[in-house]
Amino acid sequence: MNDTDSGTDVGSDTGEDGGDAGNELQLINATMTSLDPVQASDTASSEVTTQIFDGLLNWVDGGVPVEARLAADYSVSDDFLTYTFELKEGVTYHNGDEVTAQDFVYAWERLAASPNSQAPSDILSAVNIAHEETDDGSYVPGTLQMEAVDDYTFEFTLAAPFASATQVMANNQFAVYPKGIVGDIEGYDGEIDQGTFASDNPIGAGPFEFEEWQSGTEATVLAYDDYHGSGPEVDGIHWQIIADPSARFNYAMNQNADMFAIPTSQFSASSYTIDRTDEQGRQRGTYEARNGETLSATGVPTLNYNYIGFNMPAVPKPVRQALAHAMNQQTIAQQVFKNRAVPAYHTMSPNIYPGGAEAYDQHAEENYPYGYNQTDLEGARQVMEEAGYGPNNRYELDWLQYQSSTWLSVANTLRDKLTNAYIDMQIEQAPFSTLLERVRALNVEAFTLAWIVPWAAPDAFVKHLDASRSDPTDGPVEMYADWPNDSEAAQNAVEAWERIENNPLANDENTQIRNEAAIAMEEANWEDVANLPVYHEIEQRFRYDHVDVDAFGSGGSYKQKHDTTTLDR
């Protein structure tokens, strides 16, 4: 199928112009796996569970700060350990039952203890509600320190303060549903089996109630008339599930989707105009589409960074530094990713860096040691020559990447440059699962990976620069570098992380200490090149003029509820 094939592609199967969609929001989604909040770990599934379920708090339009949703009010104790939430009264699930505090006790216990939970660490480690563990570190079911004080008061206690606790609790995994509906934890028989709840009858208290999901084909939710919040303004949401990028694009160009992404292969940078960048670093502009329509466009640097990682004991420091000198992050963002990414010099994304995007750029421009927005081949040659390499003593570097045409373009460009710095790079592509298996076994030299972080704060990024937790062959880690701890930079990183952990309070003093320590960890990474940041992906969303929707935030569009979205076809 080619770009212009409109007679046989998926986009022509449901009408040429989407004119019969009425007041139903038409979207495109990828393959979904589950609609059980504790099991839906992929963004495609989470985009749908965001609409069906509500929790105590909410990422407003997918951004921060988070705000109350089912909570009428809440308070935190002076020691930042005990959280007390007062629930809205009279809120109902889609089956008519009232939401109570007992439901939260049940739902959060499932997150921690259900064999179907894909994110028990979110409640046991990240938020870290106090609980008991066995000798091998496993959670003892039923020991989370939380209780329903009464029908509308939910209280829990953390094992240690955590400044970003409310952000993590606003994620979909912490959503609520009727007590005892699934019997996959101790003490509950269940009204329906977990498979039915996850695919055929997910019952939440969100703005939309489940209608249908045909795996691999489509999913639909309908407006819940008794929703406790504002709206919904649309009658429902329909997702067409399309895996092929060209088919997705053609479906959108036939105006069968109201909002959508454009695959990089189909994206024309010359058709994209950025009119302004708002205070959150979001690009706002227009896109001249292939079908003649002028689309409204939003681009948001989300909570991610993509990087080149190293098995540090296997790759000498001068070689790692030479790669950093040869890398031109700005050129890669502009030419390879067509300005759909911003150059990365830190692990922290620009909108999360202390002081924001302007401070991010200033710190990198003034301090990055390998050439800011430029290729420094002279510096690459010099560091290699000082280490004894030269025309007759070249270094052979094995590069492993997942199967990606964009990363292959980066690798080829870098390989060609490094030949001038006495480095011969061999490129290998592998399925992502194979790459991850080899990285975790340290059966690799250089590799490509990305981190998508779960909350919008510096520590969520720089925890991946903790040298003391970097050997993937020795239990759970935060990075895959096996960073030798005997270097000064490694010790600086370890000590900075300890300062972050020792100052966890959500006050100005502790926040300042954490911010300064996070920058120190970035600079330690610069020195030893444990990993080499390349770019921060910009998530773009395009929409036709008949759609009125707020811009989404750094958490991503999949976290945005559509209760206030309107259509004027």
What are the pLDDT digits (tens) for 218-229?
Answer: 999 999 999 999
Rounded to whole angstroms, how far apart are CA atoms 339 and 99? Answer: 45
Q: Is residue 85 located within the same domain as residue 8?
A: no
Sorting pLDDT into bands at 50, 70 and 90, what band is 378? very high
Domain boundary among 148, 176, 201: 201
Residue 11 scores a pLDDT above 60: no
Domain boundary among 168, 201, 234: 201
pLDDT of residue 9: 34
Q: What is the mean pLDDT of residues 382-392?
A: 98
Average pLDDT, the chain: 93
Q: What is the mean pLDDT of residues 184-204?
A: 97
CATH label of the domain that carries residue 503: 3.10.105.10
Rounded to whole angstroms, how far apart are CA atoms 490 and 483? Answer: 7
Q: Is residue 177 located within the same domain as residue 212?
A: no
Q: Is residue 226 located within the same domain as residue 171?
A: no
Sorting pLDDT into bands at 50, 70 and 90, what band is 264? confident
Q: Is residue 25 located within the same domain as residue 70?
A: no
The string of pLDDT tens digits covering residues 477-516 is 788 999 999 999 999 999 999 999 999 998 999 999 999 9
Residue 563 scores a pLDDT above 50: yes
Sorting pLDDT into bands at 50, 70 and 90, what band is 476? low
Q: What is the mean pLDDT of residues 209-218?
A: 96
Rounded to whole angstroms, how far apart are CA atoms 254 and 11? Answer: 6
Rounded to whole angstroms, how far apart are CA atoms 164 and 256? Answer: 39
CATH label of the domain that carries residue 72: 3.90.76.10
CB atoms under 10 Å from CB of 118, counted, come to: 18
Q: What does pTM read for this prediction?
A: 0.84
Of 312 and 41, the structure prediction assigns the larger pLDDT to 312
Residue 116 scores a pLDDT above 80: yes
Q: Is residue 322 located within the same domain as residue 411?
A: yes
Which of 15-19, 81-85, 340-344 is least confident? 15-19
Decide: 218 and 198 in contact? Cβ < 8 Å: no
Residue 549 scores a pLDDT above 50: yes
Sorting pLDDT into bands at 50, 70 and 90, what band is 13? very low
Q: Is residue 96 located within the same domain as residue 235?
A: no
CB atoms under 10 Å from CB of 370, counted, come to: 23
Rounded to whole angstroms, how far apart are CA atoms 99 and 108? Answer: 14
Which H or E run contains 60?
strand 57-60
How many distinct structural domains can be found in the chain? 3
Residue 441 scores a pLDDT above 80: yes
CATH label of the domain that carries residue 549: 3.40.190.10
Residue 400 scores a pLDDT above 90: yes
Q: Is residue 147 located within the same domain as residue 272?
A: no
Q: Is residue 295 located within the same domain as residue 311?
A: no
Of 268 and 19, the structure prediction assigns the larger pLDDT to 268
Rounded to whole angstroms, how far apart are CA atoms 472 and 470? Answer: 6
Q: Which domain holds residue 559?
A: 1-30+207-300+544-569
Q: Is residue 529 located within the same domain as residue 399?
A: yes
Q: What is the mean pLDDT of residues 35-41?
A: 95
Q: How many alpha carbons lie under 13 Å from residue 492 in its C-beta half-sphere? A: 17
Sign of the torsion formed by the C-alpha atoms of 502, 505, 509 and 510: positive
pLDDT of residue 4: 29
- Closest to 240 measured CA to CA, from 51, 53, 36, 10: 10
Decide: 246 and 2 in contact? Cβ < 8 Å: yes
Sorting pLDDT into bands at 50, 70 and 90, what band is 20? low
Which of 2-6, 40-44, 172-176, 185-189 is least confident? 2-6
Domain boundary among 201, 224, 252: 201
pLDDT of residue 267: 93
Q: Is residue 524 located within the same domain as residue 468?
A: yes
Q: Is residue 404 located within the same domain as residue 438?
A: yes
Q: Is residue 276 located within the same domain as residue 424?
A: no
Which of 38-42, 146-150, 538-542 is least confident? 38-42
Q: What is the DSSP string of 79-142?
A: TS-EEEEEEPSS-B-TTSPBP-HHHHHHHHHHHHH-TT-S-HHIIIIIS-B---B-TTS-B-TT
